[in-house]
Structure 1
Amino acid sequence: MPESRLSTMLSTVIRQQRQLRELNQRQLAELAGVSQATVARVERGDRSPSLPALERLLAAMQVQLTVDVEPLDAHLDARLAEHASRPLAEVIDDLGLDRLLDRLGDLPNLLTGATAAVLQGAPVPAEAVEIALRWRDSARFTSWLEAGYAQRWNARWAEWGGVHIEPEEPGEHRWLTKHGEIRAQMCAELPEGIEVRHGGRGYRVVPLVQVELTDPRAADLLRRHRQRQQAG
């Protein structure tokens, strides 16, 4: 991965997590024990932070970095083509989206990430239902998780369970419930949403342009999708 791309991804993550916690750059710098200039440079993407500095910044916001790999472009093209050929109804059914949303009831939420992208016609792989939730609804969400016999993803051991399910506890916001897998983006307020309709049902989603700004993985796939369209 080119350094410029890595810097962009890291800057997006740091800025997004800081804004979700309603911190300014100075406050984050004080919590992490780094200079405000360091935070500013990282968020601008001028340079990739050292690993110790990155760990301090993330730990100050009670999150941690996970490392993953992705296929090369040729394999990405094959995956995009595969997902473009899948009927949307099939994707919705595989995710258990309608069932899970019905179970959430009146808990305020907004579909985001790959789930929102798929519902807006983007051929990206959606592996779980992704939603945005407000921090002040955390207790209600925890009760919902408990009722759904949820297990939280344990990144340390790469397995489900063995960690506290509450969103406030450190760890990825990713749970396996009896209704399916759900991934949450916790925020102070829900972002502006739009409604898309399919099969006589309306879905409240984050607009595609906002997905690109907040989800680096989905953004890479969407950019690749547009490049393929332009080349075609």
Structure 2
Amino acid sequence: MPPTRLVTLLGKAVRQQRHLREMTQGQLAEAAGLSQAAVARIENGDRAPSIAALEALLAAMDVQLVVGVEPLDAHLDARIDELAARPIGDRVSELGLDRLLDRLPDLPQVITGSTAALLQGAPVPVDALQIAVRWQDSTVFSRWLDKNLGQRWDARWGVFGGIWLEPEEPGEHRWLTRHGEIRAVMCDELPETIEVRHGDRTYRVVPLVELELIEPHAGELLRRYRDRRLASDG
């Protein structure tokens, strides 16, 4: 049975908090008194955690769960508003992009999707590094994924792992690696890019105007943000 939205959100929250603390699943499991396999299933949304297990995991990271209800999609608007109120430098640094990008030196790629929108100042939620990769470089990409313990997203079961890594094989182009999650757009040629700079680093990103045309999810987030700005200005 596919995971519910709540189970997926709980798993994502645990994973994000663990990554922020640079803990491994094994370290978190030991601190919470659970098995590493249980932590993996919870983070992947493969298992609905008991309240006791969830509280133990969060307490091990010095955080707690706050429960509330809201109209559907209000969470997304609230997230956009919250991101808009924060400095872009903070939003970029908390993603840990540099650490992951530094481990992709031999793979020709450019940043696209919501990640590219964020780097250009748009306050859109970003869950993973999104890159465009050429089909001709898929062998290099596959080798990198294998070397870095990549697991591919299995949409049928709602978990990472259990299917072929290679982009040519059927499945979403989404992988979990030991350095973080990567989502790829496979293409014949890399899209045109511009350069943006944050701190002492320059990033090659797909421009916002192109994102709205070629990236449905990022385009929808950008339109949602623009509509909220127009509503508030009016």
Task: With the length of structure 2 as denominator, give the TM-score of the two structures.
Answer: 0.66
3-state secondary structure, aligned to 1:95: coil
Partner of 2:176 in structure 1? 176
Q: 1:9-29 CA deviation, whole Å, 9 max, x = no partner?
A: xxxxxxxxxxxxxxxxxxxxx
1:130 aligns with 2:126: no
**One-letter code aligned to 1:134:** R
Residue 229 of structure 1 deviates from its aligned partner by 1.7
Q: CA deviation at 1:221?
A: 1.7
Q: Offset of 1:85 from its aligned partner?
A: 2.3
Tell me, in whole angstroms, the C-alpha distance in 2 between the residues paired with 1:163 and 1:136: 21
Instruction: Describe how 1:1-232 pairs up with structure 2 within 5 A.
Output: 72=72, 74-231=74-231, 232=233
**SS of match in other structure, 1:139:** helix
In angstroms, what is the RMSD of aligned CA positions? 1.5
Q: After TM superposition, give the deviation of residue 72 of structure 1 in Å.
A: 4.2
Partners of 1:76 and 1:180 in 2: how far apart? 23
Extract unaligned runs of 5+ from structure 2.
1-70
| Cα distance between partner residues in 1 of 2:182 and 2:73 | 28
State the secondary structure of the residue aligned to 2:197. Answer: strand
* CA drift at 1:202: 0.3
- 1:187 Cα deviation from its structure 2 partner: 0.2
Q: What percent of counterpart residues are identical?
A: 65
Counterpart-to-counterpart distance in 2, 1:89 and 1:150:
29
Letter in 2 for 1:98: D
Residues 160 and 176 in structure 1, CA contact (< 8 A), matched pair in contact too: yes
Letter in 2 for 1:230: L
Deviates more, 1:130-139 or 1:101-110: 101-110
1:111/1:204 contact within 8 Å kept: yes
